[in-house]
Amino acid sequence: MLEKLADSVSLARATCAHVVRRVAGQCDALKDATVGWLRLHAQEISHGRADFGRTLVHILVGLVIGVMVSLTDLRPREVERPLASALAERMSDWAMSFAHHLRAGPHLAINTFLTAVFLLVGLPTLGVHLPLAKTLVVLTFVWASCR
């Protein structure tokens, strides 16, 4: 039994040495290829960063406007002008919708967290493997946010 173990260890050592030599030679080539790709696509990456920043600013401005509108008391007034009354009605609907989603946020987070704990921690601890568990957590989040 010890001889088989010694043979297995020596075979593993020889295999590992071969793999290490082969990978060590490829690391420099991989590094050069990565640096070359980054130099070639640097402008596209910088555009992506600018687009990401612009999108983030749009999201933040939308959130600020949504909070301001949801905290403002928009009661329908007797307005004779059709455009003003339509805008006031739409802003009132938007404010109610935003306030509804703002109040639903903690419930949504708790629901998704508990589902994730159950599917990703609880079931595997009990030895139950559920395929696509992460997808179910995402679907729980999406379904709860659409309610």
> What pLDDT digit, counting tens, does each position of 59-98 carry?
889 888 877 776 766 565 666 788 877 887 888 787 777 7
Residue 21 located in a structural domain? yes
Number of domains in the chain: 2
Residue 81 located in a structural domain? no
Contact in structure between 73 and 59 (CB atoms under 8 Å): no
Give the DSSP per-residue string, 38-106. HHHTHHHHHHHHHHHHHHHHHHHHHHHHHHHHHHS--------SHHHHHHHHHHHHHHHHHHHHHHHHH
Average pLDDT, the chain: 78
Angle between helices 42-71 and 2-40 (to 10 degrees): 80
Residue 51 located in a structural domain? no
Domain of 116 in residue numbering reads as 93-147
Is the pTM higher than 0.85? The answer reads no
Radius of gyration over alpha carbons of the chain, in Å?
29
Residues 1-14 have pLDDT tens digits of: 667 767 776 776 76
Residue 63 located in a structural domain? no
Residue 27 located in a structural domain? yes
